[in-house]
Amino acid sequence: MSEIKAIIVDDEQHCIDALHTMLAKKCPEVTVLGGVNSVKAAKELIDEVHPDVVFLDVEMPHQNGFELLKLFDRINFDIIFTTAYEQYALKAIKFNALDYLLKPFSVKELQDAVQKCISRRGVQQPEPGNSPLDVFLQNMKTLHQTHKKIALPTINGLVFMPVQNIVRCESTGNYTRIFFTDKKNLMVSRPLKEFEELLTDVDFFRVHNSHLINLQQMQSYIQGEGGFALMSDGTQVEVSRRRKADFLKKAMQF
Q: Quick one: 55 and 156 in the same domain?
A: no
Written as one string, the DSSP assignment of 161-223 is EEGGGEEEEEEETTEEEEEETTS-EEEESS-HHHHHHHHGGGTEEEEETTEEEEGGGEEEEE-
Residue 244: inside a domain: yes
Answer yes or no: is pLDDT of 68 > 80.
Answer: yes
Residue type, 242: R
One-letter amino acid at 13 equals Q
| One domain, residues 105 and 152 | no
Tally of domains within the chain: 2
Same domain, residue pair 60 and 158: no
Task: Give the pLDDT confidence of 96-154 residue by residue, as tens digits.
Answer: 546 788 888 899 999 999 998 888 776 544 444 445 666 666 555 554 444 477 878 77
Look at 73 and 107; give whichever has higher pLDDT. 107
Taking a C-beta distance cutoff of 8 angstroms, is the pair 8, 55 a contact?
yes
User: Closest by alpha carbon to 80, among 41, 109, 54, 115?
Assistant: 54
Q: Among positive and negative, which fits the CA dihedral 37, 136, 176, 162?
A: positive
Q: Are residues 157 and 49 in the same domain?
A: no
* pLDDT tens-digit series, residues 173-209: 888 999 999 999 999 888 898 888 778 778 899 999 9
Taking residue 253's Cβ as centre, other Cβ atoms within 10 Å add up to 7
207 & 116 share domain: no
Q: Tell whether 116 and 177 lie within a shared domain.
A: no
Residue 129 lies in a domain: no
How many other β-carbons are positioned within 10 Å of the β-carbon of residue 234? 9
Phi, psi of 234 (to 5 degrees): 90, -5
Residues 8 and 115 both lie in one domain: yes
The stretch 243-254 carries a mean pLDDT of 87
Instruction: Indicate whether 172 and 112 sit together in one domain.
Output: no
DSSP helix/strand/coil, 186: strand
| Domain CATH code at residue 70 | 3.40.50.2300
Q: What is the pLDDT of residue 126?
A: 44
Residues 152, 65: one domain?
no
CATH number, domain of 187, equals 2.40.50.1020
Mean pLDDT for the stretch of residues 59-84: 81
d(CA 134, CA 126): 10
How do 149-154 and 157-162 pair as beta strands?
Answer: antiparallel
pLDDT band at 86 (very low <50, low <70, confident <90, very high): low
Residue 85 predicted with pLDDT over 80: no
In DSSP terms, 54 is beta-bridged to: 7, 79
How far apart are the C-alpha atoms of 113 and 41, rounded to whole Å? 24
Q: Is residue 137 part of a domain?
A: no
- pLDDT computed for residue 146 by the predictor: 44
* Per-residue pLDDT reduced to its tens digit, 1-25: 458 999 999 988 999 999 999 999 9
Is residue 131 one of the residues assigned to a domain?
A: no
Under 8 Å between Cβ of 44 and 37 = no
Residue 140 lies in a domain: no
Residue 172's domain comprises 148-251
**Judging by DSSP bridges, how do beta strands 204-208 and 185-188 pair with one another?**
unpaired
Q: What is the mean pLDDT of residues 52-59?
A: 89
Same domain, 66 and 11: yes
